Structure 1
Amino acid sequence: MAQETFAFSSSALRSLRLQRELLEREERRRALARESATRRFLPEPPRPPRRPQYCRDPAVHNALYTGDLLRIKSIFKDETTTNLVMETVSEELVWEPEQGLWVLSPRRQQTSALRIAAGRGYSDCARHLLLRGAEVDAVVGGRAPLHDCAAAGRPDCARLLLAFGADPNVLSAEGAAPLHLCTAPDSLACAELLLAHGAQVDLGTRDRQVTALHVAARQGLAAHVELYLRHGADPARRSRQGETPLNAACAAAERPEDAERFCRVAERLLAAGADPGAAGRKDHTPLHNACGNGQPGLARLLLRHGADATVPNCAGYTPLDCALHAVDEYRHQRPEETIALLLDHGAGPVHPKMLKFCCRHPPALELVLNAYDRIPPAESWVGAVPPELWQEHREFYSSAARMAGQPRRLQHLARCAVRRHLGARCHRAVPKLSLPPPLRRYLQLPLQGTLS
């Protein structure tokens, strides 16, 4: 049988080639679809951990710390270089008990290029590193770049990192999120950015379970406290030690110049529903802390919101006892104001052993002694008064020692009976009594400089 052939025209051949290419393309598309579906249901094999590479070159470190963009562009060109661990080694003195002397020991500190650039606000340098493959959430040297932005108050770099997908809840080696490191007034913008990108406002640190609200309250940052409360922070949330944000604020208000800002913090927390009587560590209430720090304004605020002036802590000390312990340290800040405030809110006479803590400040000692209907023996405090102070206030100390153990005047006994009857209502009931003004004033334990 003769072999038959068929001649194709050029247009027919082009049509056949085009059809074959389309068929091959469709086959490749189906193969990719099958591979993608397989990956979706089968876990990817774990990647081997990348072995860190270190850079100890001072010239490279200097380019990063000074924000030299041209040098940075010439050094960091790919993913490998941008993720180098920047390591510095310094010598520090360490005591060696076996040798009995101080020796120099190397101290290594590690960070990343992105941490340095972002923490110092070099946004152009940080953008270059990110575009060249820097890992945005890499925790190097204990922190991620976003931690450094929050701690240093660098909102521009924080915004850049978040735009590149940084996790607003990334934890440091110590278990703190970036929001926990917003500890200065200029970090407010960073806190706002973190919350806008999904930071958990009530996230606690890993070990102590301290929230951002605890941190802001402890630092006296009223604007931060207001921001967190607006985003749903819980003012009753307790740390692992049992501290509420209000406890933290009152415990941190240690200096007289801090009084105003900590009062603003306490006002916002109390307005949000914080419990003024919540006992924290060692059963200290916020009032115990405020009195122990010599803060009459803070104590007045807490008492106005219902704090109990008579509740003891785990050692049996009342807020008045704490105020007496602080008299010597804060004697130049009128500690008698706090004592008078507590006595007007129901605090009773203290144990005689507490008199030695306030005896070197005559106004405080006078107030406390006038709370007794019979002054206790002077042996508990008279020996603690320095001779030069006794000479300076001889009239008061002599009258106090003379009246010790002796019955007081009937007028004073009547005052004690009225105040005992009114109890915690003294501060608001005494001014309303239908009595002559001098007598109302006498009921409020005015300072006279002597006892009779």
Structure 2
Amino acid sequence: MAQETFAFSSSALRSLRLQRELLEREDRRRALARESATRRFQPEPPRPPRRPQYCRDPTVHNALYTGDLLRIKSIFKDETTTNLVMETVSEELVWEPEQGLWVLSPRRQQTSALRIAAGRGYSDCARHLLLRGAEVDAVVGGRAPLHDCAAAPRPDCARLLLAFGADPNVLSAEGAAPLHLCTAPDSLACAELLLAHGAQVNLGTRDRQVTALHVAARQGLVAHVELYLRHGADPARRSRQGETPLNAACAAAERPEDAERFCRVAERLLAAGADPGAAGRKDHTPLHNACGNGQPRLARLLLRHGADATVPNCAGYTPLDCALHAVDEYRHQRPEETIALLLDHGAGPVHPKMLKFCCRHPPALEVVLNAYDRIPPAESWVGAVPPELWQEHREFYTSAVRMAGQPRRLQHLARCAVRRHLGARCHLAVPKLCLPPPLRHYLQLPLQGTLS
């Protein structure tokens, strides 16, 4: 026996153990490779969906909503607990038509632990949940965690989720990707992260086919629009209703204080090749929308890029008709400037029935009436003028009624003839005419406060 054995040194034993571990690791690797190859040609049957488990414990909910990391670590220790559905039940009044009365009905709201932590910016809590097996793309309660990060916005948590393999194009229950939820100015960092990790910039929502560029244009987000265009966003892409991003921007520019940023959005889109005459919903062009919202600067921009001032929508209304409909609502935004602008770009005199929409703003009514060579009868609008407004502008209204149906001065008839001949070139040709400055000014339909 002594001749068949020999003593091993400690270093030799360590070497043998290491060699054995390496051989076992190689055996496991080969086994996994064979198993992977087998699955490739013989896909395994689909696993049955995991039955959701619910947590209604307010203590657990409170730990998540307050970002209590120590308590979260003590509660969420494995894959089962981290993927619990957090459910709250509240009572709300709903109308029961069969009973004819209001009754209390339970309203259930569901979310996930990861959604709560990520949506509130608790990155340490979110990291713990992810390391314990939380499903990064699980859509619970209609959204995935990345949707909440984009909507909040929480760029740090969005970066964390993406680092753990979150899908930047995951769809919510409503069919929206995280990029569609970047609707605030401070969500730019989230949008940049999503695009850097493969978000599809031209991906449309499931039902309406609205892209991220539509959303940014509708919100007046200049920096977002620039970012999406740099990443290949299509400014001609239409939603299911036929609207382009330029349509969306012009339709949303409703408040005077928003005029500046929506003009900048429109400038970026037009520079990228957007069609200023693209008709969208109800055949409204961007110019229809701009005029309907009382935005003279936006209308001027569109006309400078070739928008047609005479094209009708599905109801037969031209941009000038839309501008007249908006006079009463936007009288403090100088709607007469928009009207004069459209007339200088080829818009013709409107139907007399449209005068009732601008008669309560004398400057707008004066510009419109000066587009006629013979003022139409006043019966269509005179009854819509409030008595106190008539008293305030008695001279103008009296002259408008007196001149109705009567021939205008020869000077005005000559002005109408020149403008009719120039048509859509008025805005370019009139300033270049070899005429005395007062006559050139007269051709541009200045306000005089009376008609003659």
Please classify the TM superposition score into its range, dividing by the shorter chain length: over 0.9
Alpha-carbon distance between aligned partners in 2 of 1:7 and 1:305, rounded to the nearest angstrom: 94
C-alpha displacement at 1:101, in angstroms? Answer: 2.0
Alpha-carbon distance between aligned partners in 1 of 2:320 and 2:215, rounded to the nearest angstrom: 28
Give the unaligned 5+ runs of structure 2: none
Alpha-carbon distance between aligned partners in 1 of 2:10 and 2:188, rounded to the nearest angstrom: 74
**SS at structure 2 position matched to 1:87:** strand
**SS at structure 1 position matched to 2:88:** strand
Alpha-carbon distance between aligned partners in 1 of 2:389 and 2:172, rounded to the nearest angstrom: 54
The Cα offsets for residues 61-87 of structure 1, whole Å up to 9 and x where unpaired, read as: 111111111111111111000000000
Change (3 A) 1:43 1:446: same
Alpha-carbon distance between aligned partners in 2 of 1:57 and 1:10, rounded to the nearest angstrom: 56
Alpha-carbon distance between aligned partners in 2 of 1:18 and 1:367, rounded to the nearest angstrom: 95
Alpha-carbon distance between aligned partners in 1 of 2:212 and 2:79, rounded to the nearest angstrom: 34
**Superposition map of 1:5-404 within 5 A:** 34-404=34-404
C-alpha displacement at 1:35, in angstroms? Answer: 3.7
Alpha-carbon distance between aligned partners in 2 of 1:31 and 1:373, rounded to the nearest angstrom: 93
The Cα offsets for residues 331-371 of structure 1, whole Å up to 9 and x where unpaired, read as: 11111111111111111100000000000000000000000
1:451 corresponds to:
451
Alpha-carbon distance between aligned partners in 2 of 1:232 and 1:2, rounded to the nearest angstrom: 80
C-alpha displacement at 1:16, in angstroms? Answer: 14
Give the unaligned 5+ runs of structure 1: none
Structure 1 range deviating more: 320-329 or 432-441:
432-441
Change (3 A) 1:58 1:415: same
Alpha-carbon distance between aligned partners in 2 of 1:6 and 1:403, rounded to the nearest angstrom: 129
C-alpha displacement at 1:37, in angstroms? Answer: 2.9
Alpha-carbon distance between aligned partners in 2 of 1:34 and 1:58, rounded to the nearest angstrom: 48
Change (3 A) 1:80 1:387: same
C-alpha displacement at 1:92, in angstroms? Answer: 1.3
Alpha-carbon distance between aligned partners in 2 of 1:68 and 1:3, rounded to the nearest angstrom: 68
Change (3 A) 1:47 1:434: same
**SS at structure 2 position matched to 1:261:** helix
Change (3 A) 1:387 1:40: same
C-alpha displacement at 1:3, in angstroms? Answer: 23
Alpha-carbon distance between aligned partners in 1 of 2:163 and 2:17, rounded to the nearest angstrom: 48
Change (3 A) 1:448 1:24: closer
The Cα offsets for residues 150-191 of structure 1, whole Å up to 9 and x where unpaired, read as: 001110000000000000000000000000000000100000
Change (3 A) 1:92 1:19: closer
Structure 1 range deviating more: 176-185 or 420-429:
420-429
Alpha-carbon distance between aligned partners in 1 of 2:14 and 2:296, rounded to the nearest angstrom: 96
Task: Indicate the percent of aligned positions where both proteins have the same amino acid.
Answer: 97
**SS at structure 1 position matched to 2:104:** strand
Change (3 A) 1:51 1:19: closer
C-alpha displacement at 1:41, in angstroms? Answer: 1.6
The Cα offsets for residues 213-251 of structure 1, whole Å up to 9 and x where unpaired, read as: 000000000000000000000000000000000000000
Q: Given the two structures, how large is their TM-score scaled by the length of structure 2?
A: 0.94
Change (3 A) 1:15 1:410: closer
Q: Given the two structures, how large is their TM-score scaled by the length of structure 1?
A: 0.94
RMSD over aligned Cα atoms: 3.6
**SS at structure 1 position matched to 2:30:** helix
Change (3 A) 1:433 1:73: same
**SS at structure 2 position matched to 1:207:** coil
Structure 1 range deviating more: 244-253 or 29-38:
29-38
**SS at structure 2 position matched to 1:71:** helix
C-alpha displacement at 1:46, in angstroms? Answer: 1.1
C-alpha displacement at 1:109, in angstroms? Answer: 0.5
C-alpha displacement at 1:17, in angstroms? Answer: 14
C-alpha displacement at 1:30, in angstroms? Answer: 6.4
Alpha-carbon distance between aligned partners in 2 of 1:2 and 1:297, rounded to the nearest angstrom: 105
C-alpha displacement at 1:148, in angstroms? Answer: 0.3
Change (3 A) 1:344 1:41: same
The Cα offsets for residues 9-60 of structure 1, whole Å up to 9 and x where unpaired, read as: 9999999999999999998876665444322321022111100000011111
The Cα offsets for residues 239-289 of structure 1, whole Å up to 9 and x where unpaired, read as: 000000000000000111110010000000000000000000111000000
C-alpha displacement at 1:98, in angstroms? Answer: 2.2
